[in-house]
Amino acid sequence: MPCQNSAVMTWKGKGRVVASSSSFLFLLTLVIAAICPSASVAQEANAAPETALPTTDYLVELEKLASKCEELKLPIQAEQTRTWWPQTRTDQTWLALPTAAVTNKPNENEELVSKWHTRFETLRRRHALYLIEEIKKLLEGKDEIAAYRLVWRAYREDPQNPQLKFVLQSFLNATGVDSKARLASTAHPKYGWPAKTFHRVQLPHFRVVSNASPDLLEQWAQELEKIFAVWTQAYPDLWLAPGSLKNRLAGKNVPLERKAEMNLVLFRSREDYIQHLGKAEQLIENSVGYYSPKETTSYFYIEDGAISYPTLVHELTHQIIQEASLVRGSEPWTARSDFWIVEAIALHAESIWIGDDYATVGGWESPRLQVARYRMLRDDYWMDWESLRGHSAETWKQQEELARAYTQSAGLAHLWLDDSDPVVRESFFKYLTSVYRNKPNAKLLYETIPADSLKSRYENVLQVPAQLLKQLSPQRKLEECVLIGCELPSDGLNFLSTQSDMKWLDVSFMALKDSHCGVLASMPKLERLSLEGSTISNIALKDLQGLSKLNELDLSGTKIDDEGVALLLELPALETLWLTQTKVSDASLPGLLLSLHKPHQYD
């Protein structure tokens, strides 16, 4: 017979427990332990239940465990343990994924890995207990926004916890649902697609129809529920109904969310997208995705085998707010002013990044902030605040400098939403809600950042301190990075050493030295590079020799001379070279002209 979980046998009388003699108990314990070794473990567990482990102590214990793994030659486990808990940043919020992370990776020494895994899981469960205690405190203080995020973090630590699983049940079930594409048996009534030429996917929160390949459709659809779960953590202010989390945590079977099924259409090509939407929507040819509040549908298309991820999150943000938020059914498109904020929240949502073990929202590395930093710090572009506010949905699209208005709106959204002060964030959402309810009240913003100090605050937040630059996650892959005039870390550009996908890098007016430029050689896809205003010399240019795709290079204000220019003549793709205020003489012009006008070659 299998052993029971008790290591000591007792006889229960009325209201009392009667035990045998101590010697007999000792013998009996030894026998049971010999038959069932787990009995002694169970006895220890019963005697010493797991206790809550505060975050600071938890991080110390993780580091100890990582060091032990290194000592035992378990590099994979050491790395996973050390990097498990995402670092806390003042300009970014990390979010948990709805899928439990796989932590028991294979290794040659399975026994040691098993011991590591047991210890790792124990630490995580204990930290989850601490987070649950903190959640209860936050709910007592009526801070449901912070509590909601902690629920997800606690679930990440202990995905088997029944209380946490109950609270997040709808999201956890949604991410595990079958996303199988099913062939339509009837013709599509709107797009004229014949029967059996397109597919449908039904998800808990989304209904998708597409004439793209079923494989692409299924792959894309699988991401939708994950994005939705992460989005609710990024913006619980817009989504979480007061009292719902507290009731759910107390075990009450009340819904945590407002039920909504959102419609999406995925076209197989851009041509199809324009053909079907161009008749009804103006300027559709300038878009890469579109949410129609009238049709309550978001539209996307496949290009080069993929969908534009930023566009996907942008339009889904419009749709979620309109159809599944606390202000659903509102009509901000009819408001006479302040439409910028409707776009700003969606532009900020483009900063959502989903990694293997966690997600983030905000941060200096957000794609939209690169252009915002360029416009403000290099061009000194600033759209007057009242002018920005003055646009309705209709006049917004008619602006001559629409692209720059979008850029500034994105930057301003990050100014409020990336602030670590919850009061600042709350003022943004109050203002956004007033616009959605067609009662714009910009004074709600002024409570935290006065209008007359807005530009200076905006400039300051774009200047990234060295400490934040060093906190860039190696998992995060950037294609654009603009850091004009920002503070350089003591180890130079090493924080970019893993950025092999970089296409545009602007580190002008930073305190760069020749020794800092070695990292540039690890960016083979680099197309635009600015080193303007730095102290680099010809020596640094040797690190650019392998950049076969480099199209534009700015060396203005550096110590480059004719000898250095000669090192650039063999760059096959170089078309634009800036040499203002350098020691380059007219003697280099013939070679430069010949080089810049030769047929370009690409790898």
Q: Is residue 372 part of a domain?
A: yes
My answer on whether 39 and 149 are in the same domain is: no
Query: Is the CB of residue 145 less than 8 Å from the CB of residue 83?
Result: no
Task: Enumerate long-range contacts of 364-367, CB under 8 Å, 24 or more apart.
Answer: 364/91, 364/92, 364/464, 364/468, 364/469, 365/472, 365/476, 365/478, 365/481, 366/414, 367/310, 367/479, 367/480
| Same domain, yes or no: 320 and 181 | yes
Q: What angle do CA 426, 427, 433 make, to 5 degrees?
A: 90
Same domain, residue pair 181 and 316: yes
What pLDDT sits at residue 42? 44
Element (H, E) at 297: strand 297-301
Domain end (from 133, 167, 201): 167
Q: Which residues of the chain have pLDDT under 70?
A: 1-48, 102-108, 279-283, 596-603
- 49 within 8 A of 69, measured Cβ to Cβ: no
Q: Decide if 6 is inside a domain.
A: no
**Same domain for 588 and 561:** yes
**What does the pLDDT look like over 469-510, one tens digit per residue?**
999 999 999 999 999 999 999 999 999 999 999 999 999 999
- CB-based contact 182:236 (threshold 8 Å): no
CATH of the domain at 542: 3.80.10.10
Final residue belonging to a domain, choices 427, 462, 497: 462
- Residue 470 CA from chain centroid, whole number: 18
570 and 455 in a common domain: no
Q: Is 462 left (phi over 0), alpha (psi -120 to 50) or beta?
A: alpha
Question: H-helix or E-strand containing 222?
Answer: helix 214-234
**Within-domain flag for 342:** no
| Per-residue model confidence (pLDDT) at position 596 | 67
Note whether residue 240 is domain-resident: yes
Please tell me whether residues 85 and 220 are part of one structural domain. Answer: no
Is residue 287 located within the same domain as residue 256? Answer: yes
The structural domain count of the chain equals 5
Full residue range of the structural domain in which residue 97 is found:
55-167
Q: What is the pLDDT of residue 177?
A: 86
- Spatial distance between the Cα atoms of 163 and 249, rounded to a whole number of angstroms: 7
Write down the pLDDT at residue 277.
Answer: 85
Collapsed DSSP state (helix, strand, coil) of residue 168: coil
Phi, psi of 419 (to 5 degrees): -70, 135
Instruction: Let me know if residue 588 belongs to a domain.
Output: yes
26 and 59 assigned to the same domain:
no
The reply to whether 184 and 319 lie within a common domain is yes
Q: What does the pLDDT look like over 380-395, one tens digit per residue?
A: 999 999 999 999 998 9
Residue showing tokens 């998708």: 208
Same-domain check for residues 229 and 322: yes
504 CB burial (10 A radius; 0-12, 13-18, 19+): buried
For residues 313 and 221, give the distance between their C-alpha atoms in angstroms, rounded to a whole number. 13
* Nearby residues of 366 by Cβ (< 8 Å), 6 or more positions away: 348, 350, 351, 414
- Are 185 and 324 found together in one domain? yes
In a domain, 3, yes or no: no
308: in domain: yes
* DSSP H helices in 325-401: 340-349, 367-377, 385-389, 393-396
Give residue 333's pLDDT.
86
Residue 153 and residue 168 in contact, taking contact as beta carbons nearer than 8 Å: no
| Cα atoms in the 13 Å half-sphere on the side-chain side of 325 | 25
Only one residue has tokens 């073990």, namely 357
Domain boundary among 140, 167, 194: 167
The domain that holds 272 is classified in CATH as 3.40.30
- In a shared domain, residues 318 and 219: yes
Residue 297 has a pLDDT of 96
* 601 part of a folded domain: no
